[in-house]
Amino acid sequence: MAEIDNKIKVDERLRHIAFIMDGNGRWAQKRMMPRTYGHKVGAENFRRVVEYCNEIGIKIVTVYAFSTENWGRPRGEVEAIMDLLSGYLDKCEREMEEHKIKYNFLGDMSVLTDELREKIERVEKLSSGYDINLNIALNYGSRAEIAHAFSVLAKKGLKEISEDDISGALYTSHCPDPDIIVRTGGDIRLSNFLLWQAQYSEFYFTDVLWPDLSSENIDEIVREFYRRKRKYGKV
Ligand code: IPE
Ligand code: IPE
Ligand code: MG
């Protein structure tokens, strides 16, 4: 990592950062606003965070946008999140050449509306030539992902399964494991996110609520990452 005039630039040690974007609802409630307003402001911040991560040289960003368990929320909240996503996808398509981001959605898209799924497929296809990666975990659950990977391998007729076979059948097969997983919102748990891929990830938990996560906070996360000594079981 280099830091010149307070501007951070990462090196190949920090290729992949993942965010559990938590705390939107509480952010809104603190302001006497409906939870859906928190999702709207959270979605705006998500775009800023991704842009900033790319600016400082992080090539792969993964975000947890909607879990397999989040369907259990009130219908109005789920619909508001899906509407935000739909608007976001329109923007991605309009601004594709400006951002040069390759989008990949992680999760089972088959349960989404046809309209949403088609938008996702279009954005993934149109952006497939770019090399800055943004993975958006949507209707994502790590256990569901692992179970799905085993089904894929079973269908191939494999009798013995290696770690690489499993990694290769996950939704994240196109990228290395996250170097660091960040969770905003104060809770210290993974909530079914990247259980397999987190094998040697660093973890960073902060009380900052997702809509408030700033570029200064990200700089601090990066500095903390570079203070850690990653040992992978060795001495
Ligand atoms: C995270 O924020 C966004 C989603 C899970 C979709 P929350 O909506 O979980 O916000 P809190 O945790 O209730 O504050
Ligand atoms: C995790 O947040 C899921 C996302 C950020 C999309 P939750 O708010 O759903 O997690 P729990 O319920 O606090 O574990
Ligand atoms: Mg939450």
> What are the DSSP calls for 37-80, one per residue?
HHHHHHHHHHHHHHHHHHHTT--EEEEEEEETTGGGS-HHHHHH
User: Residues 18-23: what's their mean pLDDT?
Assistant: 99
**Is 70 one of the annotated active-site residues of the chain?**
yes
Query: For the chain, what percent of residues have pLDDT higher than 70?
Result: 100
Nearest CA to ligand 2 atom 2: 22
Q: What is the Cβ-side half-sphere exposure of residue 207, based on CA atoms within 13 angstroms? A: 0
The SS3 call for residue 106 is strand
The rounded Å distance from CA 157 to ligand 2 centre is 35
114-161: pLDDT as tens digits: 999 999 999 999 999 999 999 999 999 999 999 999 999 999 999 999
Pocket of ligand 2 (CB under 6 A): 20-22, 64-67, 70, 187, 189, 191
Nearest CA to ligand 2 atom 9: 70
Q: The tokens of 34 are what?
A: 């409906």
Regarding pTM above 0.75, the answer is yes
Separation CA 134–CA 63 (nearest Å): 8
34-92: pLDDT as tens digits: 999 999 999 999 999 999 999 999 999 999 999 999 999 999 999 999 999 999 999 99
Q: The tokens of 167 are what?
A: 């990694």
The SS3 call for residue 100 is coil
Q: Which CATH architecture has domain 11-141+179-227?
A: 3-Layer(aba) Sandwich (3.40)
| Residue whose token pair is 């109005």 | 76
Residue 81 CB–ligand 1 contact under 6 Å = yes
**Helix spans in 72-140 (H):** 75-94, 96-99, 114-126
